[in-house]
Amino acid sequence: MTGVSQTTVSIVLNERDDAAVRIAPETRERVLQAIRKTGYVADPIARRLADQRNRFLGVFTYEPVFPAGLGDFYHPFLVGIEECAERIGCDLLLFTSAPVVDGRRRIFHQDNRLRLADGCILLGRWLDPDELARLIAEGQPFVSVGRRDDAGGPVPYVGADYPTATVAQVRKAVELGHRRIAYVGEGAGAESHADRLRGFTTAVREAGITGVHVRFTEAADVMDQLREHGVTAIFVEEFADGAVLAEEAGRRALRVPDDLSLVALGDPTRPASTDLDFTGYRIPRREMGWQAVEVLSAILDGTGGETQRLLPCEPVAGATLAVANA
């Protein structure tokens, strides 16, 4: 149809340049017109044999991402993953056959299909360190959405810079006169929790103020502990816990933020019923998903680059942090 060689068609079809074959713009356009006219699509099996890639990227989630209670939290991550995959011309495989053990999915099992994909994006608030170590040991390309500690080697990840974002929020509270503040949450386990507490502790030490760490149990018990310490500002690890504490404060005739300030360190990970416009920060979830695909693509292409990225969180002014009530 075009009167050119098969090699020329291949170069145009695969959008690559060949120093040994210079293709005139009019020739390239003639080939593209023929492709459009015939609706030709390259044989995926042949392409795989040529470049040893399926152009499939896997997505493995340690927790279900579609139930209504969690869907809103995970949705932006998945949007970013999908958009970047589309941009680079890859399809996505969502791995759902993994069995649940002790309430969590496991990557490695009898029917493990991970190798159907060229590489995999791992998504979840907690990832199994042993499985990460095995992925590294077996040389399986992957990128974690969220910072992960070493697991027998450096873990490729795109995470949120929780320490820096938390430090900034504590400094705002200090500027408003708060001298006794509290971190409410686990502060351990998942790296995202440990990172938040680390930022809180660092900022408290630098400011020379009193900071206490209280794990969330019953709202009434937490408020009793905070009252004993004379806390005027609460930094909550989980948005929903902040909503519950605000309700408990109301039952005690404490006004937010006039009598008690509240700062949410991130977006809701579970449903939270509140009309309060929380001060705090947002996690760059869509951008984390997008850049995770970018990092994975670079690993697969062997182009190098940064394999561990921390993205800044977006501050939210809100209306729950005010001048400390003397």
Question: Is the domain of 27 the same as that of 69?
Answer: no
Question: Is the domain of 12 the same as that of 120?
Answer: no
135 falls within a domain: yes
- Bond before 284 cis per omega within 30 degrees: no
pLDDT of residue 49 exceeding 70, the answer is: no
253 falls within a domain: yes
48 falls within a domain: no
φ/ψ of residue 250, rounded to 5: -60, -40
50 falls within a domain: no
Q: What does the pLDDT look like over 96-151, one tens digit per residue? A: 877 777 767 778 876 778 888 999 999 988 888 888 999 998 889 999 999 998 77
Q: What does the pLDDT look like over 32-46, one tens digit per residue? A: 888 877 767 665 544
Question: Is the domain of 73 the same as that of 89?
Answer: yes
Question: Is the domain of 279 the same as that of 289?
Answer: no
Domains held by the chain: number? 3
Question: Is the domain of 166 the same as that of 274?
Answer: yes
List alpha helices for the chain, DSSP H: 6-13, 25-38, 44-51, 68-87, 129-137, 162-175, 191-207, 219-228, 239-251, 285-301
319 falls within a domain: no
Q: Give the C-alpha separation, 283 to 39, whole Å.
A: 42
33 falls within a domain: yes
pLDDT of residue 171 exceeding 80, the answer is: yes
The pTM for the full model equals 0.81
Question: Is the domain of 77 the same as that of 102?
Answer: yes
Question: Is the domain of 176 the same as that of 277?
Answer: yes
Q: Give the C-alpha separation, 88 to 298, whole Å.
A: 11
Question: Is the domain of 309 the same as that of 167?
Answer: no
Query: What is the span of the domain harbouring residue 253?
Result: 162-283
Q: What does the pLDDT look like over 51-98, one tens digit per residue? A: 557 789 999 988 777 665 554 788 899 999 999 999 999 999 998 877
CB distance 180 to 231 below 8 Å: yes
Question: Is the domain of 99 the same as that of 71?
Answer: yes
Question: Is the domain of 186 the same as that of 209?
Answer: yes
87 falls within a domain: yes
Question: Is the domain of 172 the same as that of 273?
Answer: yes
Question: Is the domain of 153 the same as that of 223?
Answer: no
Percent of the residues in the chain that have a pLDDT greater than 70, as a whole number: 90
For residue 202, what is the domain's CATH number? Answer: 3.40.50.2300
Q: What does the pLDDT look like over 211-241, one tens digit per residue? A: 999 999 999 999 999 999 999 999 999 999 9
Q: Give the C-alpha separation, 148 to 308, whole Å.
A: 9
